[in-house]
Amino acid sequence: MKQWIYTILLGCLAGLAACSQEDEWGETGATDETQLTVYIEQDLSTRTSVDDTGKVTWNVGDTIGVFGSNEAKNVPFIYSHSDDNGASIFIGHLAAGEEPVTVYYPYHKSATLIDHELQTILPAERTADGTSNGPMLGSRNEDGSFLFKHLCGLLKFTVKSLPEDARWIVLNTEADQTLPVAGKTRIALNDNYELTVDENEASEIRIPVTGEDVVCYVPLPTGTYPQIEVSVRNGQDDILDLRTATNLKITRAVLLEMADMVVPTCSSRPVLNVTHSEISVDGKVNIIATVENIQTLKDGSVTVIGGERYTDVSVSNKMLTQEVELKQGTNRVRVRVRVVDACGNLRSLSRIISIQQSNYQFNPIYPVQYNADILRLHFQLVNAQEAAKYYSDLRIILSRTPNPTEEDCIYGYPVTISLNNETFNKGTQFYIDMSLEDIEWGVEYYYRLYLWGNNSNPERYSDNVVVFRLETTAGDLVDLGLSVQWASCNWGANYPYEYGDLVGWGDPTGKHTEDPSDYTGEEQKRIYCYYGYYLTDEDWFGVTPRENISGTEWDIAYQHTEGNWRLPTYDEQLELLHKCTWRSITYKGIDGMRVIGLNGNDIFLPYAGSRNGEKIIRQGSEGYYWSGTANTGIFSSGPYCLGIPLSGSSSVSKPYTKEAYVGRSVRPVQGI
């Protein structure tokens, strides 16, 4: 392949620095203003823009970082001016009595100095404004000034005739051997001036672009790059055009200049699509690439990044196919083609796809199960021993975010199980029990698995995500294994989590809101009859007290459902209390109690509060549910109701009498 690069050895070592400004600077605690004189090695021009001759020039606002003699503070020093002798003055503030010891460019707020090693950032996004952000490290001279030495080489390239929808120029070094070019870097404080980018940092640099022509200066760490690819991309990251160079040696303080890249223009743009077949049992797969809007597909190649490169591919019409062998884990496969577009231009296209290869499987399984206190999550794990060769843990995510990742876990962290757990050798389907305490009912949750690996095998998420929500037993009528069946909702509500109506006892209209002294006629007699005072025989106003109004004309549920529903009796509420399990939960943001029957079915009783006149009190913290039974005793008269506190069920042992005129909830029943 023809190389499109030529080398310029910077005779005066034209510097590789550029403007880098921080929007915010931390407090330095400085007390003394300090002037610092700096030079750039073998350069008479001491500024930071790259000029037409390849020299570097400082700009107003350029900032260097300075560590003082105690090595504790990373202090910004700002460019002031330059003289005719190549010296430049920077001004900053060090603590009283401190002297500058270590200086570097460009300043970065998060830079640290630990054990004679400078740790800073090489940015993954740059600008096409004639600057380079080329990092430098200062060496102290005998007179107290500093001589900056370059830490990188510099790549220059010009892209012309950018399409209107071009948004990015992307430099990518991902090839057979991926070399990181941006991210966390380490610089040893010695005479070698070596900059090392941490493993698994970025292998691409992005430059936002507008306009037709751009000139880019990109500092690169020293080393030999098997391949450098420069592509023009639109806002959807589709590649509009690309150029490739191979076996590039980047040397400190050397400028490599690429030939101009001119993007072909054509109203009908080529589109490269890449798919693959099913993976065979021996780890092989067919890569299939098709290109739209072209005259001819000339040739191409397929590369498993970090593995084999295939150049003798099958090209037929406008399709490329190639069988490749995958390695375990995630495979990144690059397809590159050369085509003649619809306008007759020769252009290159490239696309990378990810393919997961493993002979182990892991996925969550539906349905999710639960009882009074436990949520049971089922999952499949096939061949855990094989997975353990590449990963250490199986991790479980429960989240309210679709397609969740580790950061979305509702507990703040995932549940972790070692892949070396002996249980995994006894089958392929398993479950784990988790507390229901933090789960909100009636809300969608997403359950997913992932494998946690190491630097060479990053985490791998399950393709399947189980979506579920916890709901009480469906249907209007719920069988709890008791003597009667219970309604799933309060009277006046459409859903279990709605409060419903708050009605007076014995009021079939459900509308009375007055004080009992305002009732008249027979209704007054009825209300006073169950008002809750100590009554004598003369106080009954001629009304015969009823011990049970359930299923009568005084029963609001019975009257309005043609006898299908009725108020529960005292004994039926007592049965609900003593034979069921009670738990405080939140259901779609509403607090209340989940009542679990003998057969596992359940209902939800919200804390609907009570109504006194027009005023509703204690809604959200207490609930009161009428029975149809009244205590007609002289010294403790009144209808019974079931009260449920927020704290739980154990503090409630039986229904108790309450004032009949106060509006409370009704949960109807049907006899079995």
User: What's the pLDDT tens digit per position in 556-598?
Assistant: 999 999 889 999 999 999 999 999 999 999 999 999 999 999 9
Domain stops at, among 233, 260, 287: 260
370 and 323 share one domain: no
Question: Which DSSP symbol is given to 551?
Answer: T
Give percent above pLDDT 70 in the chain: 84
Tell whether the model's pLDDT for residue 540 goes beyond 50: no
If you average pLDDT over residues 445-468, what whole number do you get? Answer: 86
Residue of higher predicted confidence among 208 and 360: 208
pLDDT score at 358: 74
Q: In this predicted structure, what is the pLDDT of residue 530?
A: 52
Instruction: List pLDDT tens digits, range 160-197.
Output: 989 888 999 999 887 656 678 999 999 999 888 889 99
Q: Are residues 3 and 122 in the same domain?
A: yes
Alpha helices in 358-514 (DSSP H): 384-387
The per-residue pLDDT for 649 is 45
Query: Of 383, 385, 330, which is closest to residue 359 (Cα–Cα)?
Result: 383
Residues 117 and 190 in one domain: yes
Q: Are residues 254 and 315 in the same domain?
A: no
Q: Among 107-121, 473-487, 507-521, which stretch is predicted with the lowest mean pLDDT?
A: 507-521
Confidence of residue 642 (pLDDT cuts 50, 70, 90): very high
Instruction: Report the number of distinct structural domains present in the chain.
Output: 4
**Residue 48 DSSP code:** S
- pLDDT, residue 357, reads 78
- Tell me phi and psi for residue 309, to 5 degrees: -110, 130
608-621: average pLDDT: 91
pLDDT of residue 5: 37
C-alpha torsion sign, points 527, 530, 532, 533: positive
Query: Does 169 map to a domain?
Result: no
Q: State the pLDDT at residue 46.
A: 30
Domain stops at, among 330, 357, 384: 357
In this prediction, residues 634-652 reach a mean pLDDT of: 67
Say if 236 falls within a structural domain: no
Specify the pLDDT at position 178: 66
Residue with more model confidence, 483 or 69 = 483
Q: At 636, is the pLDDT very low, low, confident or very high (cuts 50, 70, 90)?
A: low
For the question of whether the overall pTM of this predicted structure is more than 0.85, the answer is no
pLDDT band with cut points at 50, 70 and 90 for residue 648: very low
504 with 637, same domain: the answer is yes
pLDDT computed for residue 295 by the predictor: 94
* Residue 638 pLDDT > 90: no
* pLDDT at residue number 16: 36
- The dihedral over CA atoms of 18, 24, 30, 31, expressed in degrees to the nearest 10, equals 100
For residue 652, what pLDDT is reported?
54
Going by pLDDT thresholds of 50, 70 and 90, the confidence category of residue 515 is low
Residue 371 lies in a domain: yes
Element at 57 (helix H, strand E): strand 56-57
Residue 500 lies in a domain: yes
Total Cβ atoms within 10 A of residue 191 = 8
Judge whether 29 and 166 are in contact, CB under 8 Å. no
Lowest mean pLDDT among 134-148, 298-312, 514-528, 658-672: 514-528
Where is pLDDT greater, at 166 or 542? 166
Last residue of a domain, one of 468, 498, 517: 468
Q: What is the CA radius of gyration of the chain?
A: 38
Same domain, 312 and 332: yes
**What is the CATH number for 350?**
2.60.40.1940
Taking residues 340-359, report their average pLDDT: 87
Residue 344 confidence (pLDDT): 92
Nearest to 583 by CA among 597, 594, 596: 594
Supply the pLDDT for residue 542: 53
Are 565 and 442 members of one domain? no
Q: Are residues 250 and 378 in the same domain?
A: no
Give the structural domain span for 431.
361-468
Which one has a higher pLDDT value, 71 or 26? 71
Overall average pLDDT of the 120-148 stretch? 88
Predicted pLDDT of residue 25: 31
Confidence grade of residue 402 (pLDDT, cut at 50, 70, 90): very high
Indicate if the pLDDT at residue 659 is higher than 90: no
Kind plus residue range of the DSSP H or E element containing 239: strand 239-250
Q: Count the residues in the chain.
A: 672
pLDDT above 80 (res 217): yes
The CA-based diameter of the chain, rounded to the nearest angstrom, is 120
Banded model confidence at residue 57, pLDDT cuts 50, 70, 90:
low
Q: How many CB atoms lie within 10 A of CB 335?
A: 23
Residue 133, strand partner residues: none
Q: Tell me the CA distances in angstroms from 268 to 103, 338, 341, 423, one per residue in order.
A: 52, 16, 8, 58
Q: Is the pLDDT of residue 220 over 80?
A: yes
Are residues 279 and 183 part of one domain?
Answer: no
Same domain (yes/no): 211, 68: yes
- Count CB atoms within 10 A of the CB of residue 181: 27
**pLDDT at position 455:** 59
pLDDT computed for residue 499 by the predictor: 97
pLDDT at 13 over 50: no
> Chain-wide mean pLDDT for the chain?
83
Query: Does residue 353 sit in the same domain as residue 464?
Result: no
Provide the 3-class DSSP secondary structure of residue 406. helix
CATH number of the domain encompassing residue 413: 2.60.40.2060
In a domain, 11, yes or no: yes
Predicted pLDDT at 521 = 62
Beta bridge pairs of residue 147: 39, 139
Neighbours of 447 (CB within 10 A): 23
Confidence check: pLDDT of 107 > 90: yes
Residue 231 lies in a domain: no
Do both 454 and 528 map to the same domain?
A: no
Distance of CA 607 to the CA centre of its chain: 34
Instruction: Answer whether residue 27 shows pLDDT above 80.
Output: no
- Mean pLDDT value across residues 21-30: 36
Under the banding of pLDDT at 50, 70 and 90, the label for residue 322 is very high
pLDDT of residue 195: 92
What mean pLDDT do residues 94-108 have?
Answer: 90
CA-based nearest residue to 246, from 230, 225, 231, 223: 225
In a domain, 168, yes or no: no
Q: Highest mean pLDDT: which of 11-15, 311-315, 358-362?
A: 311-315
**Inside any domain, residue 256:** yes
